[in-house]
A = this chain, B = another copy of it.
């Protein structure tokens, strides 16, 4: 039996039922939507994730945050510089070779709006899943995240 969605313009999609491909497309759609919702805040998705981690873990080092988010040190540097230049985060001294990050006052204000955006987005993600499958959503994603 042929799924009618398999054809677009007479072209058959051999990838749509492959879980890895569907995972990539689902993630891409979700990232695009979330990115658009963050645009008014002047933030990218990664910047938003850094701000959220910093808010919850004031004083955490650049390296520790990067490891948590799977962003390499070398790539964290310009990201943090961007957040600093926007006046959203400040450095705190840990020791002579590393520093921690904390939200600045304006970073704290922005974080409130950011938290609302995240909550709205995450709700829409969860609600996009048929109710009977919602309980499986996080277990599946965590399993894929940790295991593939």
Seen from chain A, the residues whose Cβ lies within 8 Å of a Cβ on chain B are 8-9, 11-31, 33-34, 45, 49, 52-53, 55-57, 60, 64-65, 67-70, 118, 121-122, 124-126, 128-130, 133, 136-145, 147-148
Report the Cα distance A19→B114, complex, angstroms: 16
Report the Cα distance A106→B68, complex, angstroms: 43
A38 to chain B, nearest CB (A): 12
Check if B22 sits within 8 Å of A30, measured CB to CB. no
A-B contacts, 20 of them at CB < 8 A, read A12-B56, A15-B49, A16-B142, A19-B138, A19-B141, A20-B30, A22-B138, A22-B142, A22-B145, A24-B27, A24-B30, A25-B141, A26-B141, A26-B142, A26-B144, A26-B145, A27-B28, A129-B140, A129-B143, A130-B139
